[in-house]
Structure 1
């Protein structure tokens, strides 16, 4: 699946970035999650670009990039996104992160809050120090991928974060995108975890909208509930009927919540 908007390439001292850039006005940065890339936002870019300037990158290590030398972690990717905004001469942006991208968005705010105008966190993937009973799926998925059983491993991962049999129902372009990024699970398995830090989170003063799918599996509803208690300017919305891929299942509702957020902060 080829994106409808041209993919731009930016070579900087901090690496090469592939991204899409459409619209004018306030800047909105969209950060994808695990196994995804800039194609994940296919139903957001054209609609939101009618209201603001939308920056849609593929994180370093993800399609179409190869042989990236920088480290793979939430912390490195947060720095990468700041470097991209700097290179585009964007002083501050609204930042939307989905799943693992939500952790990256949060780290961006913790590192340089003045450059993050607001946060929109969609089922953010933020860990707690307690053992996660569901975490075995990551090991099972990675083992299958390393054994060459690519689709089997991807099905395990996607079904765990989005609900049983989600992989079977996925359309062709989504499956291809996930296959293109299968090897990033090897890197993700080794990255330092991004944990809840109540003291740091509660010190953030920027507006935050938390988005969840009505049918998203654990731990995402619990993460949103905890963040709403911790973050001083947070409010939550649940999109129904939808699971973890809420922006694909109900794009009009998802996009409208983003527009409402940006017009009220």
Structure 2
């Protein structure tokens, strides 16, 4: 099985197709299968690279080391392993955070960014009592996250997506309680990572999407991020929550293929 190694941590990845490399970074608490409905479409004209983030799927699950900069180094290790110099990096939620960090600390690996439902410095949007609850009530936290992550339309018309996420969230082979807590507590982890003032340094084409019904990352946070990146485009997707590639896969695929076909990419 293909692994890249970063500071002793094994990172699992898979590649499909050939052409312009496209890296797909899944959200926290899922795995590479999050992108199942994108891989075939993209692999017809592009080299698709899907990664199990540290602490997820078949990648190692160390007790610490879940800062966004370290997760970005993991992606860099994968790109070195596959021999690709520059890639279009697509990320949802924490995957988008990692993509931005990679563009800042290792711009030589990033050709363009596609950011979905992500922000920076999320702490102001998440009450301290909620953070405490996330750490003390593991199961309840995931129930809350799941309910708030999907639009009402998705929950009503596509219950299979809810069931899929519910099963993945609770699969210990996918991630562990310890890795989840470590990511919350890290000083540069999901809620504490703040590079808003540095986003003006990103010079690659950037495309930002926000779900109109996303309760996990507020629309205001995504809009603020898009305004901070020079010349970034911003699109609000109606009837979509936190997981655009899952909730409206065909529409997302059209958007992404259109981006990949633009002359600047």
- The two structures, once aligned, show a CA RMSD in angstroms of 2.5
Q: Give the C-alpha shift of residue 131 in structure 1.
A: 3.1
Task: Name the CA distance, whole Å, in 2 between partners of 1:135 and 1:163.
Answer: 25
Q: Give the C-alpha shift of residue 154 in structure 1.
A: 1.3
Q: Give the C-alpha shift of residue 216 in structure 1.
A: 1.4
Task: Give the structure 2 partner of residue 178 of structure 1.
Answer: 169
> Structure 2 unaligned runs (5+)?
none
Task: Give the structure 1 partner of residue 54 of structure 2.
Answer: 60
1:109-138 Cα deviation digits (max 9, x unpaired)? 00011210000000113115x733545334
> Structure 1 unaligned runs (5+)?
1-7
Call closer, same or farther: CA 1:246–1:195 in 2, change over 3 Å. same
Q: Give the C-alpha shift of residue 238 in structure 1.
A: 2.2
TM-score, normalised on structure 1?
A: 0.85
User: Which residue, 35, 44, 47 being the options, matches 2:38?
Assistant: 44
Q: Give the C-alpha shift of residue 63 in structure 1.
A: 1.8
2:93–2:118 CA contact under 8 A, matched in 1: yes
Aligned partner of residue 19 in structure 1, secondary structure: strand
Pick 1 or 2: higher relative contact order, CA cutoff 8 A, min separation 6.
2
Task: Give the structure 2 partner of residue 26 of structure 1.
Answer: 20
Q: Give the C-alpha shift of residue 219 in structure 1.
A: 4.1
Task: Name the CA distance, whole Å, in 1 between partners of 2:5 and 2:242.
Answer: 33
Aligned partner of residue 43 in structure 1, secondary structure: helix
Q: Which moved more, 1:27-36 or 1:224-233?
A: 224-233
Matched, 1:153 2:134: no
Task: Name the CA distance, whole Å, in 2 between partners of 1:80 and 1:97.
Answer: 14
Give runs of aligned pairs for residues 1-265 of structure 1, distance below 5 A. 8-12=1-5, 14=7, 15-68=9-62, 71-127=65-121, 131-134=124-127, 136-145=129-138, 150=139, 152-162=140-150, 169=159, 170-180=161-171, 181-183=175-177, 184-191=179-186, 192=188, 193-198=192-197, 200-217=198-215, 219-264=217-262, 265=264
Call closer, same or farther: CA 1:62–1:218 in 2, change over 3 Å. closer
Corresponding residue pairs, total: 251
Task: Name the CA distance, whole Å, in 2 between partners of 1:65 and 1:10.
Answer: 8
